[in-house]
């Protein structure tokens, strides 16, 4: 398994290991926007998640997983009103 940072992940990649309201949630990476990323919850593109571009991940055959000890706290999560 390879360790990477979120800014190295291709668009459309699935991020596993995130929990919302104590439920496993798959996050889809879209792009980097400055110091943060623009991601959304799988199945709900209006639920935006902004993670640090430096978020540590582990690459697997299935997708990317948040590294243990790394943050899975988003900078902002919710409907994008911009």
Is residue 78 situated within a structural domain?
no
Give me the domain span that covers residue 20: 2-68
Question: Based on the structure, what is the number of domains in the chain?
Answer: 1
Structure confidence by residue, pLDDT tens digits, 12-59: 999 998 777 777 889 999 999 999 999 999 999 999 999 999 999 999
Query: Which of 64, 77, 72, 74 lies closest to 5, judged by CA?
Result: 64
Q: Are 32 and 39 in contact (CB under 8 A)?
A: no
User: Is residue 49 included in any domain, yes or no?
Assistant: yes
3-class DSSP assignment, residue 12: coil
In a domain? residue 74: no
* In-domain check, residue 48: yes
Full-model pTM: 0.78
Residues 3, 57 contacting (CB under 8 angstroms): yes
Let me know if residue 44 belongs to a domain. Answer: yes
Residue at 33 is within a domain: yes
Q: Is 73 domain-assigned?
A: no
The verdict on residue 82 lying in a domain is: no
More confident residue, 72 or 29: 29
């Amino acid at each position: 398994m390879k360790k990477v940072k979120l800014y190295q992940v291709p668009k459309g990649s699935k991020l596993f290991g995130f929990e919302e309201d104590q439920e496993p949630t798959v996050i889809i990476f879209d792009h980097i926007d400055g110091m943060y990323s623009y991601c959304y919850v799988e199945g709900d593109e209006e639920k935006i998640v902004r993670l640090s571009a430096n978020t540590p991940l582990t690459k697997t055959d299935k997708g990317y997983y948040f590294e243990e000890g790394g943050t899975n706290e988003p900078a902002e999560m919710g409907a994008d009103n911009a």
